[in-house]
Structure 1
Amino acid sequence: MIRRLAAAVLAGVLMTGAAQSDDLTYQILDFEVLDGWKDDDHATALSVFLNTCTDLNGPDWQSLCAVAQNIENPRAFFELFFRPVLIKNGSKALFTGYFEPELDGSQVRTDRFRYPLYRMPSEAKAGSAWLSRRDIENSGVMEGRGLEIAWVDDPVELFFLQIQGSGRIRLPNGHHLRVGYGGSNGHDYRSVGVEMIRRGIYQQHQVSAQVIKSWVRRNLEDGLELLRHNPSYVFFRLVDKVSPEDGPLGAMNRSVTGGRSIAVDPVYTPLGAPVWVEKDGENPLRRLMVAQDTGSAIKGPQRADIFFGTGDAAGRAAGRLRDPGRMLVLLPIQRAYALLPENEQ
């Protein structure tokens, strides 16, 4: 990932102020101009950085990771060894949020817990589109094969768990299971929200995940049929490399941290790098985070998805977020200034 970033930025000509290569511009800023920098909890940011810095490539990153193990002044560490780099391509900055769903469930089927999460069956791995969601749910093709990971009590939440692709199951004994994406039936995703708008149930500005859930529950028979408008069906796998009590695994195969981990486009932002976030909007946020995840919708140097944590409250907060601002990647000082043309170094 770092090599892809380096190839992109080294193709440009970086000046002390800003430089441009095609649509990309790069600017090295001082920490003093970062809004709210001095007020952040740099110790927490450092602890999150330490979770994944050992996986960063390059001797400069590895040296800084070693130094970071025994730091008494986290803010001074970042200011001494890094420089904030503003990377832009002409697109406006956009911050959204994501979270880890948590469903109530059981490892055995009961009257309450009767909606199964399935492992991927062998015939769905052939590479072509398999049965649709409707066929999987109505044909009984999955039953009696031991493919169930767990059963949950809410088919609507299960549908949205499939959209999210991973989550946590809270068991009756208080323990948890974590599940991750295990494959799909090969059908393209079709938006239930768009279908509701087409049918005249809601207008575009009214549709959200919470609105869809509420309508389906109020109109359960018609609602479950509406969910089958999306033929895509996701299968799961148990995730047992980390404790279910820790955060879910991000793209670096390490647990992400609520309020401190972000998903980025690794073409521009190295996974594992600290990122200064200045999110505007109704609830402004100024915080040092760490790029530890990716997402198919996260494209561009000023695009980030903030991880809010696990459960309903995190989901509500993440679902409301769609704000402007800016983000700056903190690069090791020599790496940052290596982007400058020779006469500026």
Structure 2
Amino acid sequence: MSINKTRAPSASSKINHMSLSCLVMPVRPATPWRLAIVAAILGMLAACGTTPPQAPTTEPPPSAVTVIEQPKSRWVPVGWEALPGWSQDQTVLAWPALLRSCARPAAGWEAACARALALSEPHEAAVRAWLKQHLQPYRVETLDGAPTDGLLTAYYEPLIEARRAPDARFRVPLYRAPADLAQRRPYWTRAQLETLPAARSALRGLEIAYVADPLDALILQIQGSGRLKLTEPDGQQRLVRVAFAAHNDHPYRSVGRWLVDQGAFSLEQASWPAIKQWARANPRRVTEMLHVNPRYVFFREEPLPDPSVGPVGAQGVPLTPGRSIAVDRNAIPYGTPVWIASTEPPLQPGGEPRPLQRLMVAQDTGGAIVGAVRGDFFWGWGEGAEELAGRMKQPLKMWVLWPRP
């Protein structure tokens, strides 16, 4: 069987979030739904209660087996049996994420997305049959075909208590982007914005809200977005989202790496929980640690009418907890279904990692997510998301599912 080479189009968009991996690595900074997609998703949910019999589907062999090359990756065609855990995953849980990506399909996905939206009863058997009929799996490799494992990290959307007006406890501001940001490149550093009168004056009146802990502000800046449980001056409480708007054009310096250099813990121990523990034990050095990182992120406030909807990723569609993944967009185009084979962090120190093998959709990106086999797993929000995201630095193998010719 001959194997040919071809190139697939790649996608590009803005960067809008940062992984928790940026605590010890270089980092990244941080639309309306189509009615057809909403209808398709609602139809899927309505169909979940029953599983009507599905006619057997014969998997059509590809007319020509090809190696697809992206600017930073090489895709080698494989059979479905090559995907570890393929038969165990509930692929139907990734279907809403795929339909959301079809609102902004990558080049080459237009026909496949039209067929996906036309699937009337997307239960598990129907989704599996659709995937096998219309898509071809490919193993993702580096351009030189090196058989090395990649890296899977994770991120989440924090939920943080905040006040609209400052008080004795809530006194760390979150700012909108200043008007003169584009005229001054680079802008003031983090330390200057917090200490110099001229820099502080440029931010006066731009406060969105106030949080109680400077590490809460830092994690919002690292993740690129978050939810605020906001108390207004009249005592009313609201749930709003702050999303990445801009940064001060300075490079990110890892506070986790600085703490490793300070001897606080080893590189293997570096994690968000470890950083928080160090900060609690060394409150007088927290400002020193924060000022190591000159980058400063500005936000915009967004309403959150539906708390079940995730933040918008770099593809421009809402992220789905446990089914959206950030990738290097020069290795995998946005909207591409991705099969991952990795592990979850152990529940307890010294425990055994648990297998993590499932269908995801590439819907986000970031400066720390660089390379062919590199992913950032979106855990969502709520209880447990921070703990899982903060400890996740796992080996990774990846496959993509691409439309058949």
TM-score, normalized by length of structure 1? Answer: 0.84
How many residue pairs get aligned? The number is: 326
Equivalent residue for 2:118?
67
Runs of 4+ in structure 1 displaced over 6 angstroms? Answer: 17-23
Per-residue CA shift, 1:132-170, capped at 9, x if unaligned? 222211235446832011111111221222222221112
The residue type paired with residue 319 of structure 1 is G
SS of the residue aligned with 2:174?
strand
Per-residue CA shift, 1:182-202, capped at 9, x if unaligned? 222232222222333333344
Task: Give the Å deviation of 1:205.
Answer: 3.5
> Residue 297 of structure 2 is aligned with which of 234, 244, 247?
234
Does residue 336 of structure 2 align to residue 273 of structure 1? yes
Per-residue CA shift, 1:188-243, capped at 9, x if unaligned? 22222233333334443443222222222332222223212222221111234874
Tell me the distance in 1 between the aligned counterparts of 2:114 and 2:240.
36
TM alignment of 1:229-268, pairs within 5 A: 229-240=292-303, 243-268=306-331
Per-residue CA shift, 1:263-295, capped at 9, x if unaligned? 112223221121111114712111111111111
Counterpart contact for 1:71–1:77, Cα < 8 Å: no
Equivalent residue for 1:4?
10
Equivalent residue for 1:130?
187
Counterpart contact for 1:277–1:289, Cα < 8 Å: yes
Q: Between Structure 1 and Structure 2, which shows a larger proportion of helix residues?
A: 1
Task: Give the Å deviation of 1:177.
Answer: 1.4
Tell me the distance in 1 between the aligned counterparts of 2:302 and 2:71.
42
Equivalent residue for 2:244?
181
Tell me the distance in 2 between the aligned counterparts of 1:125 and 1:24.
34
SS of the residue aligned with 1:157?
helix
> Residue 399 of structure 2 is aligned with which of 309, 321, 328?
328
Greater Cα offset, 139-148 or 167-176: 139-148
Equivalent residue for 1:76?
129
Equivalent residue for 1:87?
140
Equivalent residue for 1:295?
366
Does residue 164 of structure 2 align to residue 158 of structure 1? no
Tell me the distance in 2 between the aligned counterparts of 1:186 and 1:33.
43
Distance 1:69 1:274, change over 3 A: farther
Does residue 207 of structure 2 align to residue 148 of structure 1? yes
Equivalent residue for 1:31?
80
Tell me the distance in 2 between the aligned counterparts of 1:162 and 1:24.
30
SS of the residue aligned with 2:379?
strand
Counterpart contact for 2:240–2:304, Cα < 8 Å: no
Greater Cα offset, 243-252 or 57-66: 57-66
Task: Give the Å deviation of 1:118.
Answer: 0.6
Tell me the distance in 2 between the aligned counterparts of 1:118 and 1:23.
36
Counterpart contact for 1:15–1:27, Cα < 8 Å: no
Uncovered stretches (5+) of structure 2, i.e. residues with no partner: 1-6, 12-62, 345-352
Counterpart contact for 1:93–1:326, Cα < 8 Å: yes
> Residue 50 of structure 1 is aligned with which of 95, 99, 103?
99
Task: Give the Å deviation of 1:317.
Answer: 0.5
Tell me the distance in 2 between the aligned counterparts of 1:64 and 1:292.
20
TM-score, normalized by length of structure 2? Answer: 0.72
Counterpart contact for 2:264–2:278, Cα < 8 Å: no
Tell me the distance in 2 between the aligned counterparts of 1:119 and 1:22.
35
The residue type paired with residue 132 of structure 2 is E
The residue type paired with residue 404 of structure 2 is I
Tell me the distance in 2 between the aligned counterparts of 1:232 and 1:312.
28
